[in-house]
Amino acid sequence: MDIMTPSERSARMSLIRSRDTYPELIVRSLIHRMGYRYRLYSRDLPGRPDLVFRSSRKVIFVHGCFWHLHRNCPNCRPPKSKLDYWKPKLEGNARRDKLVRRQLKQLGWQYLIVWECETDNPKKLSRKVKKFLVVRHG
């Protein structure tokens, strides 16, 4: 049973952003400090990636653990009410994410998923991002 009225729930949900989220800002700031430059939300690529590095054909998605079903993550608690709405919605997000990754690969792009929970450990996140972005020659 939901502890909020429908209007309270609606007001709360309207505050959830799809762009420029706090985890995204953390990742963007980290990458900028590392000296990399990027574009945001490229409309011509599948899934409209959060960060796009055109010269190296790499993209980064910053996924919210709840919204993209980060398995075995403490931040990904399933809803307790309105499961007939939430279950298909969240599973649909996960299916779409998988399709987008497949399309990007077919187009010759590499991708990295950064989960919201990973932004809690900046050193580990920095290593993960650097490993992905370093261009290897040879």
Per-domain boundaries in the chain: 25-50
pLDDT at 82 > cutoff 70: yes
The predicted pLDDT at position 100 comes to: 97
Strands (E), 6-115: 39-40, 51-53, 58-63, 110-115
Per-residue tokens: 130: 């650097």
The predicted pLDDT at position 138 comes to: 43
The predicted pLDDT at position 120 comes to: 94
The predicted pLDDT at position 76 comes to: 84
Report residue 46: phi and psi, to 5°: -55, 135
Q: Which residues lie below 8 Å from residue 125, measured CB to CB, with a gap of 6+?
A: 26, 27, 30, 114, 118, 119
Q: Model confidence over 17-34: pLDDT tens digits?
A: 566 789 999 999 999 999
Q: Which residues lie below 8 Å from residue 7, measured CB to CB, with a gap of 6+?
A: none
2: confidence class by pLDDT, cuts 50, 70, 90 = low
